[in-house]
Amino acid sequence: MGNISEPKGWNPYLAGALTGLLLILSVWAAGKYFGASTTFVRGAGFVEQTFSQERVATMEYFKKEMPKIDWQWMFVVGIFFGSVIAAGTSKSFRWQGVPAMWENRFGPNKAKRAAAAFLGGTIAMFGARLADG
């Protein structure tokens, strides 16, 4: 799809297998399984705390998943930096606000894409938390 100048990515089976080994090591060395969505709950808690500390302290779900920086929080931050390094060293970094496949179907309007991404994110995270995933 579309990107002519960009070098081909790694074989997905190889990268997937290496990720599997990484997970095994993580469970062994740190006792941690991979996850990301709890971090969004803690993040939302941090944001809400700046408005009302007392309210967050009384909410059942934030008592369960307290706003704090933990292993998973740093794991999610790490994903960002790992991607920056990989993209920067492979000429595949692209500052782009509308993905190609989206543009082909819905046009180049950035606001439209932003609205769908926001709404999609809201729905996806609600579902992920309901499923405890």
Partner 1 sequence: MNDLIYGLVTGAIFGFLLQKARVIRYDKQIAALRLMDMTIVKFMFTTVLVAMVGVYLLKDLELVKLSIKTTILGGNIIGGLIFGIGWALLGYCPGTSLGALGEGRYDSIWGIIGMLTGAALFAELFPLMKRTVLTWGNFGKITIPGILGINHWIVIIVMVILGVLMFRFFEKKGL
List the interface residues with partner 1, window 65-124 (CB under 8 A).
69-87, 90, 92-102, 110, 113-124
End-to-end CA distance of the chain: 31
8 Å CB contact between 36 and 28: no
Name which of 9 and 107 has its Cβ closer to partner 1.
Answer: 9
The helix-helix angle for 37-49 and 110-130 (nearest 10°) equals: 110
Among 15, 53, 107, 108, binds partner 1 (CB under 8 A): 15
Q: How far is CA 17 from the centre of its chain?
A: 20
- How far apart (Å, rounded) are the C-alpha atoms in residues 107 and 95? 17
Closest distance between partner 1 and the C-beta of residue 35, in Å?
Answer: 8
CB of 114 to partner 1, least distance (A): 4
In contact, 106 and 112? CB cutoff 8 Å: yes
| 51 contacts partner 1 (rule: CB under 8 A) | no
Nearest-approach distance from CB 62 to partner 1, in angstroms: 6
1 touches partner 1 by CB under 8 A: yes
CB of 99 closer than 8 Å to CB of 92: no
Does residue 49 bind partner 1 (CB under 8 A)? no
Residue 24 in contact with partner 1, rule: CB under 8 A: yes
